[in-house]
Amino acid sequence: MSNHKYSIITVCLNAITHIHRTAESLTQQNYTNFEWIVIDGGSTDGTLDILEEYKDLISVLVSEPDKGIYDAMNKGILHAKGQDLLFLNAGDSLYDPKTLSSLDRSSNFELIVGNLFLTQTRTVRESPQLLPRDFLLKVMLPHQATFFNRDIFDKYGYFDTSYRIAGDYEMFSRLIQKYKVSYTHVPDIIANFDETGISSNDNFRHLRKKENHRVRWKYFPRYRYSLKSIRQVVRNFTK
């Protein structure tokens, strides 16, 4: 068994209908040098009963109220002992049993980004081989298919908990635009993405646009003078 250890971090809240999907994908991995860290926000729907069935798989289980998704993800980072961290939220799952064993860890890239399978549309979202300039202005990288080197959080900071829905977008923009971290793409599909989460919910569309605008204003100077930016500023003042 390779001595390279992964930390799989799952945050959840009342995810009784989804959490088993995540857990089962981990039980099927033929690479076993990983830890599963589950940060539960204080579920009351039976999620903890499901997690009890996987207690031998779970390295760390925290169940307590938190300040949102990114606060929970930060808690997971604090517990992580692996060299690379993957954030696989409730309902998301590793693509197949060879997902972890097929990764080449001979390199020392700070971000290793693969492809994502979208479960509802049955399509594959491919990440770029190289990141074009200002790529993140239009396209989001998938945190479910990204392995973060553990050291980057100590170097460049944790998730910004002032965001409710775009904290992962802010993290990617900070790492890539501000700190120019090293990036590599692997051609494998890493994860199945549950498209029913908060980031895909139309009820949060206004908040998503508002927070995305905030990220773009901060990390992409040329965006500030775009028509799209001006429109969003007007919306923010009128709503």
Express each pLDDT in 134-191 by its tens digit: 899 988 999 999 999 999 999 999 999 999 999 999 999 999 999 999 999 999 999 9
CA separation, residue 125 to residues 91, 118, 119, 215 (Å) = 17, 7, 11, 22
> For residue 37, what is the enclosing H or E element?
strand 34-40
Check residue 239 and give its pLDDT: 57
Check residue 104 and give its pLDDT: 74
Check residue 34 and give its pLDDT: 97
Residues of the chain below pLDDT 70: 1, 106, 197-203, 226-239
The alpha-helical segments, DSSP class H, found in 82-221 are: 151-156, 167-173, 205-219
Tokens of 21: 């999907």
Check residue 62 and give its pLDDT: 98
Check residue 211 and give its pLDDT: 95
Check residue 133 and give its pLDDT: 83
